Amino acid sequence: MSNGPSKYVLHVGCGVKKPGRLHSMFTSSEWNEVRLDINPMARPDLIASITDMRIVATASMDALYSSHNLEHLLPHEVTKALGEFQRVLKPKGMALIAVPDLQAAAALIAQDKPDQAIYTSPLGPVTPMDILYGHSKALERGNLFMLHKTGFTASSLGKALRISGFSKVEVTRDSGSVALWAKAYVSDQTAPSSPKVSSGPFGN
């Protein structure tokens, strides 16, 4: 009998492989990471856009992890991407998704603190304006993939996930990184007990 990984997590928008890129929830020996990215330079296992993942078989993944990808899509593309997330998951599958918290950023901007550093990411300090429009330093260097084209509040993220076919959705806020974390389940199962979701790197 094999003692290797028994579950598969699709890491979409994985970027270049580095320690900490994959959420700690999926780093135990039972998980096998399948890396998907649109950029061949990231050397993923699969090259595809998150809005068209036909390269991944339907109902083939136990879990899916997406950190700070959806905000780079146009609004009308979000449902398409989330539909793909739901499609590739097994009936008892779960997606773990992180996006910037637009409501928290807007609150700081309303306090006239648009350029206040909220936290420091691997890309440098992150401000409310970075959360709205994309990380300014990366954009200055010509990395237009970092441009933010849409945004989410806790309620709008939950609504988008349900519209896309997920039956059970839990959205929580991480005030430290001004992020929203969603656990979205294909079936309306009782969510398994798990540790509090910790933040991931901005723009991952």
Which among 53, 61, 57 has a CA at the least distance from the CA of 26?
61
Contact, 161 vs 184, CB < 8 A? yes
E strands, the chain, where? Answer: 7-12, 31-37, 46-47, 61-67, 89-100, 119-121, 124-126, 168-174, 179-185
Residue 192 has pLDDT above 60, yes or no: no
Tell me: the pLDDT tens digits for 138-183? 888 887 878 999 999 999 999 999 999 999 999 999 877 789 999 9
Q: Percent of the chain scored above 70 by pLDDT? A: 90
Contact, 63 vs 52, CB < 8 A? no
pLDDT for 3: 66
Which domains can be identified in the chain, with CATH numbers? 7-100+152-185 (3.40.50.150)
Q: How far apart, in Å, are the Cα atoms of 45 and each of 14, 39, 42, 96, 122?
A: 10, 11, 9, 20, 24
Residue 57 has pLDDT above 90, yes or no: yes
Tell me: the pLDDT tens digits for 97-152? 999 999 999 999 999 999 999 888 777 888 999 999 998 888 888 878 789 999 99
pTM of the predicted model as reported, rounded to 2 decimal places: 0.87
Q: What span, in angstroms and rounded, lies between the C-alpha atoms of 123 and 136?
A: 10
pLDDT for 88: 98
Task: Report the DSSP pairing between strands 89-100 and 179-185.
Answer: antiparallel
